[in-house]
Amino acid sequence: MKQVRIALIGAGLRSGIAKYWHKPDGDSIVVAAADISYSKLKEFQEKINAEAFITQDYKELLQRDDIDAIAVTSPDYLHEEHAIASLQAGKHVYCEKPLAITVEGCDRIIEAAEKSGKHLMVGFNMRYMNMYRTMKGIVDSGVIGKIKAVWVRHFVGYGGYFYFHDWHAKSKNTTSLLLQKGSHDIDIIHWITGSYTQKVSAFGGLDFYGGDKPNDLTCPSCNERDTCTEASPHTLIECAFREEVNVEDNNVVIMELEGGIKASYLQCHFTPDYQRNYTFIGTEGRIENSELEGKIYVKSRRSNSWREFSDTTYEIKKAEGSHGGADPNICRDFVDLVLKGKQPLTTPLAGRMSVAVGCAATESIRSGGHIVKIKPIPTTIPKAF
C-alpha cells in the first residue's frame, strides 16, 4: 500500500482534521464520510473533498473495498459501535478520545483490534502539543528527580458552550465530562509520570448549569436570551439550564498512581478563562507550565548535584495547525502507523486507562466520594504505553 484511503464516520466539528489527511498527491487521501446529517455531509464535501462518497448509513463505508481506514469522529457514545464494526470489517481505525464511555467498551474495542490484526489509534492530541512533549522530555531527563506529586488545574472557560448546549450534558451520552474533557488530562498525567492510576476518590457537582428549563428550549427561542450569560450565538443552541442536564460542571479528583505518586485533577466549566496548569514535583525539583505565557518553569532544590545551581525557563515555540500544531502531527502518525507500522505516541491501552479513571472518579462522585479502585487491565492486553 502506497496511499491510505481514509473515510470518516461523523462529519461534525472534529471531522475538520480530515484536511490533514486529504493529500491526493501524497500518501493519504480522504475518500468518503458518513453522518446522519445530510447537510453536514455536503459541508464536508465542500471543505475537504468535493468528490468524496457520502452516506447517511456508516455501514456502507465498511462494505467498500476502496477504503483502507476509518476515522471515528462521531459522538462519544457511538465510538464503541463504530470502532468495533470498522475493525471487524477489516479497516484500520483512528478513534477520537475517549475511546468509549465505559471501561468494558474500551476492552471490547481493543479485543476487536487484536482479533482483526488491524491498527487502532486513539486521538490523544495533547501528547502532540509542543508544551506537553517538552514537559515529558524534562521529566524523562531526570532533572527534577523521581516524580512524587502531580497537580492539575483545568479552567474550562468555554465549558458552557462546548458541553452544556448539546448531547454532552447528558450522562447517558458521556458518563461524565471526566471522560470527554478530562481524558486528555488524565492521559497526560499517566504519560508524563509513566505510571497508571490505581485508585481514586472524587467530589463534584452540578453547581452552575442545569435547572428547571424545558428540555426542548433553545437559545434562539428563549425570551431570556438577551440577559442570559450562557445564551449561545452559534451552532450549539440547546438551553444550558434545561432539566435533563445531569453531568457535573465542577470536579475534584484525587488519585494514587503506581509507585505511590499522588495526583490531583480539578476541572471547572464556568470559569472566565481557558487554560490548563500542570505541576510535577520530584525529589530534586518541580516543573510548572503556563499555557497563557507559553512557558515552562523548572525549579530546582538541593540535590548535591549541578542541578541545584539554577532554575530554567523554557519558551514553547508555536506550531502551525489546529490544537497548537498537534492535529497535523497526530494525523501524520496515523498514516505512518498504517503504512510503516511505526508506533505513535499514543496507545489503545492508554485510551482505556484514561476512561477507567474517569469512570471510577464518576462512581466516587455519585456515591459520596468513597475510594474506588481502577478496574484491572485484562490479561489479554499487554501493559505498554
pLDDT score of 384: 55
Residue-wise pLDDT tens digits, 298-307: 999 988 888 8
Residue-wise pLDDT tens digits, 305-349: 888 899 999 999 999 999 999 999 999 999 999 999 999 999 999
In the block, cell 470518516 appears at: 8
**Residue 275 cell numbers, joined:** 487554560
> Are the beta carbons of 28 and 1 closer than 8 angstroms?
no
Strands 197-205 and 250-257: antiparallel
Name the helix (H) or strand (E) containing 328: helix 326-340
- Name the residue ranges covered by the structural domains of the chain: 4-123, 127-209+245-327+352-373
Nearest 10 degrees: Cα torsion 189, 192, 193, 198: 40
| CATH number, domain 4-123 | 3.40.50.720
Residue-wise pLDDT tens digits, 216-269: 999 999 999 999 999 987 788 999 999 999 999 999 999 999 999 999 999 999
Residues in the chain: 385
Name the helix (H) or strand (E) containing 373: strand 372-373
Main-chain dihedrals φ then ψ at residue 314, nearest 5 degrees: -105, 130
pTM of the prediction?
0.95
Q: How far apart are CA 364 and CA 75, in angstroms?
A: 25
**How many other C-beta atoms are found inside a 10 Å radius of the C-beta of residue 73?**
25
Q: Per-residue DSSP letters for 154-213?
A: EE-TTHHHHHSSSGGGSHHHHS-HHHHTHHHHHHHHHHHHT--EEEEEEEEE--SS--SB
**Residue 324 cell numbers, joined:** 497548537
Percentage above 70 pLDDT, the chain: 99
| CATH fold label, 127-209+245-327+352-373 | Dihydrodipicolinate Reductase; domain 2 (3.30.360)
Q: How far apart are CA 269 and CA 250, in angstroms?
A: 6
